[in-house]
Amino acid sequence: MSTQQILGEDTYDDRGFLARLSLFDWLWAAALLLGSVYASYHFAPWMDRYEHGILYLTWASTVAIGWMWKPARLFTIVVAAVTLFAVMRYPDLAAAETDFFLNYLLSSQAAIMWMCALFLAAPVVYFAGLLGRAAFLERLGTAMMWLASGAGLVGLLVRWWESYLIAPEVGRIPVTNLYEVFVLFAFTTGLIYLYYEYRYQTRALGGFVGLIIAASIGFLLWYHFVQGAHEIDPLIPALQSWWMKIHVPTNFVAYGAFAIAAMIGVAYLIQARMPNAWQRRGLPSPEVMDDLMYKNIALGFAFFTIATILGALWAAEAWGGYWSWDPKETWSLITWLNYAAWLHLRFTKGWRGTPMAWWAVAGLFVVTFTFLGVNIFLSGLHSYGEL
């Protein structure tokens, strides 16, 4: 034992996660905390103690995300700055039409329209980059995805402010109807995709994921122009709860991840037909796509589980029981069982590849029915976003 020594102690950077954080990481986290503290004092009359809790929880999770995924830091800074700029120019609703910035860029309607335009263009650019093997176009696609997600988030944040401008008692977080959650879905999916694009260093799947976002944008535009769904309506009593603030966003992380998994499934199946041609263009190997599919379904499943549990906790407070076999609840269970079966097959039976890709695609139909079909075809306690 006396001869024992540890080699390389002096050369290797083995500092822990926190020690490896830069000064900028800390400053950024501190600035966000300062903003949160300010908000929690400034808006105290409108918040109960749960909402204060949710505010700091949001801060903590944003910091955790930013520390693990560095580009998110810049994203939050830009979104915060732009939103604050918009809010400062927005003393009353009339400003939305008279102020240049609000009218063309930053009122919730303008920002959401920019989001729509960018999300519609992104898959075109991504596919052009993939098919034409043009790295520049793919980078442009990524930029558009970032901008679109930012525009969507700014749009919802400004809409939050607008709802209070209508009347203080009308004010509420804009995740309460089908129109708003479609915006939420679009940019959440965009951000989750961007995270995996960064982690896996491949832009080749952007077009595929962009397609499902574009589809949701198509619905959003129809809903806006044909149904006039963009108007801010006051909240019915059942939805006036702080649970809204955590239940809905959690759900949409899950929906977004499931949607990405399905679109990677599509890419997988397309590549399986002509492996060489597609791999030459830069589509990741089947193993990588399989792994990505699993990562997204796992993320979706974890968040879906939490969202459903949060929903049950809320239901216990609003509907008189944590489980009522309401169509939305039941379809959530069906979705959950479906992905539970998928994960079991992968974990214990070691299934991989084509059948699992097909299943992931089919899973999206179940998710879509849970998300949308239940509202359209079935009636129940959950019928808020009616068509």
Partner 1 sequence: MATAAASTQSERRRRKSTASILLTFLGSMNLAITLLVALAIASVIGTVLQQGQPYQDYLLKFGPFWFEVYEFLGLYDVYSAPWFLFMLAFLVVSTSVCLVRHTPFVWKEMTRFREHQQERSLRALGHRREWLVDADTETVAATAETALTRQGFRARRKNKGDGIMVAAMSGRSNRVGYILTHLAIVVICIGGLIDGNLLVQWQHWTGQLTVETRDIPVSQVDDSSKIPPRRTAFRGNVTIPEGGRAGVVFLRLGEGYVVQELPFRLHVKDFRIEHYDTGEPRSFESDVVLHAPELDEPIEQTIRVNEPLVYDGHAIYQANFGDGGSRLGLRAWPLDGGEPAEVETHVNEELALPGDHGRRLEVTDFEVFNIHPVPEATSRREVRNVGPSFTYRLRRPTGEALEYENYMLPVDIDGDSYFLSGVRRSPGDEFRYLHIPADPSGGLDRFMALLQQLRDEDAVAAAADRAMEDIGITESRVRQQVGREAHGMIQTLLESGFDAVMAEQQQRAEARGGDAPERLMDFYRLVVERTLWEAYAQVLLDEDIDPAEPAEEDLVFYSDAITAMTALADYQAPVFLELTDFDHRQATGLQIARAPGQNIVYFGSLLLTVGIFLLFYVAHRRVWCWVRPASGGAQVLLAGSSQRDPMGFAKAFGKLEGDLNQRFGDRRRDASNGVSGDST
**72 is an interface residue for partner 1 by CB under 8 A:** no
Closest CA to 128 of 145, 118, 117, 141: 141
Single-letter amino acid code for the residue at 326: D
Under the binding rule (CB under 8 A), the answer on residue 333 touching partner 1 is: yes
Residues 152-191: x where in contact with partner 1 by CB under 8 A, - otherwise, as a string? ---------------x-xx---------------------
Q: Write the Ramachandran bin of 282: left for phi over 0, alpha for psi from -120 to 50, otherwise beta.
A: left
Instruction: Please report whether residue 47 would count as binding partner 1 according to CB under 8 A.
Output: no
Q: Which of 34, 347, 386, 387 touches partner 1 by CB under 8 A?
A: 347
330 near partner 1, rule: CB under 8 A: yes
Question: Would you give the binding string for partner 1 spanning residues 278-317, x where CB under 8 A is met?
Answer: ---------xx--x------xx-xx--xx--x--xx--xx
338 touches partner 1 (CB under 8 A): yes
Q: For residues 109 and 330, which CB has a smaller minimum distance to partner 1 in the complex?
A: 330
Judged by DSSP in three states, 274 sits in coil
The rounded distance, in Å, linking the Cα atoms of 338 and 103 is 45
Q: Show Cβ contacts of residue 314 under 8 Å, excluding neighbours closer than 6 positions.
A: 241, 243, 244, 247
The single residue among 334, 355, 386, 387 that binds partner 1, judged by CB under 8 A, is: 334
Question: Any contact of residue 226 with partner 1 (CB under 8 A)?
Answer: no
Q: Which is nearer to partner 1, 153 or 244 (CB)?
A: 244
Would you say 13 or 273 has its CB closer to partner 1?
Answer: 13
Stretch that binds partner 1, among 172-180, 183-191, 274-282, 374-382 (CB under 8 A): 374-382
Helix (H) or strand (E) holding 258: helix 243-273
Distance CA 368, CA 316 (A): 25
Place of tokens 């198509």: 218
Task: Provide φ and ψ at 236, rounded to 5°.
Answer: -70, 155
Considering only CA atoms, which of 386, 339, 346 is closest in space to residue 364?
339
Is 383 among the residues that bind partner 1 (CB under 8 A)?
no
Alpha helices in 19-134 (DSSP H): 23-42, 49-68, 71-88, 95-98, 100-101, 108-131
Total site size for partner 1, rule CB under 8 A: 63
Is residue 325 a contact point for partner 1 (CB under 8 A)? Answer: yes
Q: Tell the smallest beta-carbon distance from residue 320 to partner 1 (Å).
A: 4
Q: Footprint of partner 1 on residues 3-42 (CB under 8 A)? A: 3-9, 11-12, 14
When asked if residue 139 is in the footprint of partner 1 (CB under 8 A), the reply is: no
Q: How far is the CB of 333 from partner 1 (least distance, A)?
A: 6
Q: Is 345 in the site for partner 1 (CB under 8 A)?
A: yes
Q: Does 108 bind partner 1 (CB under 8 A)?
A: no
Q: Measured from the CB atom, is 36 or 354 closer to partner 1?
A: 354
Instruction: Classify residue 153 by burial, with Cβ atoms within 10 Å: 0-12, 13-18, 19+.
Output: buried
CA-to-CA distance for 301 and 336, rounded, in angstroms? 7
Task: Give the C-alpha separation, 61 to 28, whole Å.
Answer: 13
Strand ranges for 98-204 from DSSP E: none
Q: What is the DSSP letter of 208?
A: H
Q: Among 337, 355, 386, 387, which residue interacts with partner 1 (rule: CB under 8 A)?
A: 337
- Smallest Cα–Cα separation from 120: which of 150, 154, 144, 139? 144
- Residues forming the site for partner 1 (CB under 8 A): 1, 3-9, 11-12, 14, 167, 169-170, 228, 231, 233-234, 236-238, 240-241, 287-288, 291, 298-299, 301-302, 305-306, 309, 312-313, 316-323, 325, 327, 330-331, 333-334, 337-338, 340-341, 344-345, 347-350, 374, 378-380
